[in-house]
Amino acid sequence: MASPRFPLWEVFIRSRTGLAHRHVGSLHAVDVASALEAARDLFTRRNEGVSIWVVPSASITASDPAEKSMMFDPASDKIYRHPTFYEVPEDVGHM
């Protein structure tokens, strides 16, 4: 029921062991408090988290899919940007 009365919210959950909140989905709710409750009921029923963020979807500025090639293609052949050309000294061990 997407309507001005039931705006969309994005939900982020931090799991027990996780360091950062991760996006898990979205939902409709009338306001912040209801969005938090709905997020709890929808996304933490199986003990998935210890902290919830809800953010109005309208607050998120997204990149334009039509500009995908301009935005992301130039990075695809810059293999030198990956730190795989360094020789790691023996003493450092596993990195």
* Closest distance to another protein from the beta carbon of 87 (Å): 54
Q: Which residue, 18 or 25, is less far from another protein as judged by CB?
A: 25
Residues 18-57 vs another protein: string with x where CB under 8 A?
Answer: ---------xxxxx-xx--xx-xxx--x------------
Which contiguous run of DSSP H or E holds residue 14? Answer: strand 8-14
Burial class from Cβ neighbours inside 10 Å (0-12, 13-18, 19+) for residue 88 reads exposed
Q: Which residue, 5 or 68, is less far from another protein as judged by CB?
A: 5
Tokens of 16: 């027990």
Q: Which of 28, 59, 56 is nearest to 41 (CA)?
A: 28
* Interacting residues toward another protein by CB under 8 A: 1, 6, 27-31, 33-34, 37-38, 40-42, 45
